[in-house]
C-alpha cells in the first residue's frame, strides 16, 4: 500500500510541474504518456505470469524455486522488449502526428515519447520484479525501491524541466528523460535486492526451461492482451478528445492522472488479492481463495466511497493546482465530479478482476475489460463528444456508465 501511495505523489508532482508549462505541454505529455503505455503494455502483462507462478510455488512450499518464474520474466522482458523498443522508437513521429494536429503539441510530444519508449526493457523487468515481490510477500522491497525511484524522478524533473543546477531547460523532454533515468535506476536496485534476498530461491542460478517459459507466456498472454487493448483504448480516447481541442486534451491528462492516483491504493489491494488467491489455490483451499477475493473487494469499496466523499467538495481547488488556465479548469470540473461518483464501484471491480487472475482465470478478466471498453465506451464516447457536440462532459458521462457497468459485471 505504501508503494502505491508513493506513486500517487509522483503522478501529482509530474503534472503539477508540467502544468506550469501550459495547455500544449500538458496535452503533449498526456498523449505521450498514454501512447507510451500502449507501447509497453504487452511486456507489462508479463508480471501476471511471474506473480501467479511464484505465488503457486510458494503455496506448494517449493521455496527454492520461487524465483525461477522471475528469471523467466526477465528473459522475456529482454527478448521482447529490445526489438519492440527499436520498432516503436522509429514509428513515433508518424504515430504522434496522427494523434494530434496541433503543431505545438506535436513539437513537444515527439521527443518526449521517444525518450519514454527507451525505458521499455526497464519497465518490463521492473514489473516482473514487482510481481515476484508481491508473490512472496516482500512488498517492502518494492516500496523501498519505489521511494528511491520517485525521489530521483522528482529531483530530476526539477533539474531538467526548468534548467536548475546548471542543466539546460528541457521542458517536456526533461520530464520524459527524468522518468526514463529513474526507471533504469530502479531496475538496478531490484537486481541488487533480488541478489540479496532471492539467490537461495533460484534467482539467476536456475535457467527456466522452455516449458516453463511457455507456461509463463501463456499465463501472461491474456493479461498482456488486456493491457494492450486497455492502453490502446486510452490512446483512442485521447484521439477522440483531440478532435474537440487542445485544452480538452490537457484537461483529460489531469483527469486521468487523478483517476490513476485515486485507484492506486485499491490496485495494491488488487495485487494482494491476486497473490493470496494464488497462495490459497496452491494449498488446495478453494474456499479460502474465494474469501480473499471478496474481503479485498469489500475493503476496496469502502476506500472508493471514502475517496468520493472527500474529493467532490474539493474538486475545484484541486484542479486549480494543476490547471493554470481558468477556462481549461472549468472544462475539467464537472467531468471530475462525475468520475468521482463511480470510484467505489470501479475499485471493487478492479479487485475482483485481479482475483480472477490469481485464480488463473485470466481470460474472463480480459474479455470483461475488452468488451466494456471497445464495444461500449469508445464508440459511444466518439458519438457523444465530437459527433453530437456534447464535448468533454458528454464523454465523461459515458465514462461514468462504462466504469460503473464494468464494476457491476465483475461483482456478478
Question: What are 151-167's pLDDT values in tens digits?
Answer: 899 999 999 999 999 99
387: which DSSP letter?
A: I
Give exposure, 183-202, as e/b (b: 16+ Cβ within 10 Å): bbbbbebbeebbeebbeebb
Neighbours of 209 (CB within 10 A): 11
d(CA 405, CA 398): 10
Cell output for 67: 524465483
324: which DSSP letter?
A: -
Cell output for 340: 468521482
Instruction: Calculate the average pLDDT of the chain.
Output: 84
d(CA 142, CA 42): 21
Q: Are 348 and 300 in contact (CB under 8 A)?
A: yes
Is a pLDDT exceeding 60 seen at residue 215? Answer: yes
Question: What are 42-79's pLDDT values in tens digits?
Answer: 888 777 788 878 887 887 777 777 888 888 889 989 99
Q: Categorize the per-residue pLDDT at 4 as very low, low, confident or very high, splitting at 50, 70 and 90.
A: very low
Is a pLDDT exceeding 70 seen at residue 8? Answer: no
Q: What average pLDDT does range 130-144 have in this prediction?
A: 86
> Which pLDDT score is estimated for 176?
92
Q: What average pLDDT does range 227-238 have in this prediction?
A: 86
d(CA 69, CA 84): 22
Q: Categorize the per-residue pLDDT at 383 as very low, low, confident or very high, splitting at 50, 70 and 90.
A: very high
d(CA 351, CA 180): 29
> Which pLDDT score is estimated for 97?
84
Question: Residue 273 contacts by C-beta under 8 Å, 6 or more apart in sequence?
Answer: 292, 293, 296, 297, 351, 352, 354, 355, 358
Q: Which residue has the higher pLDDT, 408 or 18?
A: 18
Q: What average pLDDT does range 185-203 have in this prediction?
A: 90
> Which pLDDT score is estimated for 12?
67
Domain edges within the chain: 2-411
Handedness of CA 223, 226, 228, 231 (dihedral sign): negative
Q: Are 175 and 163 in contact (CB under 8 A)?
A: no
Q: Are 216 and 51 in contact (CB under 8 A)?
A: no
> Which pLDDT score is estimated for 412?
61
Is a pLDDT exceeding 50 seen at residue 1? Answer: no
d(CA 401, CA 190): 39
Is a pLDDT exceeding 70 seen at residue 182? Answer: yes
Neighbours of 225 (CB within 10 A): 19
Q: Which residue has the higher pLDDT, 87 or 95?
A: 87
Q: Categorize the per-residue pLDDT at 125 as very low, low, confident or very high, splitting at 50, 70 and 90.
A: very high
Question: What are 327-347's pLDDT values in tens digits?
Answer: 999 999 999 999 888 888 888
The CA–CA distances, whole Å, from 128 to 122, 140, 260, 349 equal: 10, 16, 20, 24
Question: Residue 320 contacts by C-beta under 8 Å, 6 or more apart in sequence?
Answer: 329
Cell output for 90: 522509429
d(CA 77, CA 49): 12
Q: Categorize the per-residue pLDDT at 244 as very low, low, confident or very high, splitting at 50, 70 and 90.
A: very high
> Could you give the percent of the chain with pLDDT greater than 90?
35
Q: Are 18 and 29 in contact (CB under 8 A)?
A: yes
Nearest to 146 by CA among 192, 189, 181, 115: 189
Of 111-125, 212-226, 317-331, 391-405, minimum mean pLDDT range: 212-226
The dihedral over CA atoms of 367, 369, 372, 375, expressed in degrees to the nearest 10, equals: -60
Q: Categorize the per-residue pLDDT at 138 as very low, low, confident or very high, splitting at 50, 70 and 90.
A: confident
> Could you give the percent of the chain with pLDDT greater than 70?
92
> Which pLDDT score is estimated for 411?
62
Q: What average pLDDT does range 118-131 have in this prediction?
A: 92
> Which pLDDT score is estimated for 2?
45
Compute φ and ψ for 60, nearest 5 degrees. -85, 0
Q: Categorize the per-residue pLDDT at 359 as very low, low, confident or very high, splitting at 50, 70 and 90.
A: low
Is a pLDDT exceeding 50 seen at residue 320? Answer: yes
Q: Are 70 and 193 in contact (CB under 8 A)?
A: no
Nearest to 365 by CA among 329, 400, 410, 330: 410
No. of H helices and E strands in the chain?
A: 17, 0
Amino acid at each position: 500500500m505504501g508503494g502505491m501511495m508513493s506513486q500517487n505523489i509522483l503522478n501529482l508532482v509530474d503534472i503539477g510541474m508540467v502544468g506550469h508549462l501550459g495547455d500544449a505541454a500538458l496535452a503533449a505529455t498526456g498523449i505521450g504518456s498514454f501512447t507510451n503505455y500502449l507501447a509497453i503494455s504487452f511486456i507489462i502483462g508479463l508480471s501476471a505470469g511471474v506473480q501467479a507462478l511464484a505465488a503457486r510455488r510458494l503455496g506448494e512450499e517449493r521455496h527454492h524455486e520461487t524465483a525461477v518464474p522471475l528469471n523467466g520474466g526477465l528473459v522475456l522482458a529482454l527478448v521482447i522488449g529490445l526489438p519492440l523498443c527499436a520498432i516503436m522508437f522509429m514509428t513515433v513521429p508518424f504515430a504522434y502526428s496522427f494523434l494530434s494536429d496541433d503543431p505545438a503539441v506535436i513539437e513537444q510530444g515527439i521527443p518526449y515519447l521517444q525518450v519514454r519508449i527507451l525505458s521499455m526493457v526497464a519497465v518490463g523487468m521492473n514489473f516482473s520484479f514487482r510481481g515476484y515481490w508481491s508473490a512472496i510477500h516482500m512488498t517492502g522491497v518494492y516500496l523501498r525501491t519505489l521511494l528511491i525511484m520517485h525521489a530521483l524522478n522528482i529531483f530530476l524533473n526539477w533539474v531538467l524541466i526548468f534548467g536548475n543546477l546548471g542543466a539546460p531547460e528541457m521542458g517536456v523532454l526533461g520530464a520524459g528523460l527524468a522518468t526514463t533515468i529513474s526507471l533504469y535506476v530502479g531496475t538496478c536496485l531490484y537486481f541488487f535486492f533480488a541478489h540479496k534476498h532471492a539467490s537461495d530461491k533460484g534467482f539467476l542460478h536456475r535457467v527456466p526451461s522452455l516449458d516453463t517459459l511457455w507456461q509463463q507466456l501463456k499465463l501472461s498472454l491474456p493479461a498482456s492482451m488486456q493491457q494492450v487493448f486497455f492502453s490502446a483504448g486510452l490512446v483512442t480516447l485521447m484521439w477522440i478528445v483531440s478532435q474537440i481541442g487542445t485544452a480538452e486534451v490537457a484537461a483529460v491528462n489531469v483527469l486521468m492522472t487523478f483517476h490513476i492516483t485515486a485507484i492506486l491504493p485499491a490496485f495494491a489491494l488488487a495485487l494482494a488479492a491476486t497473490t493470496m488467491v494464488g497462495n490459497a489455490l496452491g494449498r488446495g483451499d478453494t474456499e479460502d481463495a474465494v474469501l480473499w477475493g471478496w474481503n479485498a473487494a469489500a475493503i476496496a469499496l469502502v476506500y472508493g466511497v471514502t475517496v468520493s466523499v472527500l474529493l467532490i467538495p474539493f474538486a475545484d481547488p484541486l484542479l486549480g493546482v494543476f490547471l493554470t488556465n481558468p477556462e481549461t479548469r472549468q472544462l475539467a470540473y464537472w467531468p471530475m465530479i462525475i468520475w468521482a461518483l463511480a470510484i467505489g464501484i470501479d475499485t471493487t471491480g478492479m479487485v475482483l478482476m485481479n482475483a480472477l487472475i490469481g485464480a488463473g482465470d485470466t481470460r474472463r478478466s480480459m474479455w470483461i475489460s475488452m468488451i466494456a471498453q471497445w464495444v461500449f465506451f469508445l464508440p459511444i464516447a466518439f458519438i457523444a463528444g465530437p459527433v453530437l457536440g456534447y464535448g468533454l462532459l458528454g464523454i465523461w458521462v459515458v465514462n461514468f456508465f462504462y466504469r460503473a457497468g464494468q464494476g457491476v459485471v465483475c461483482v456478478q
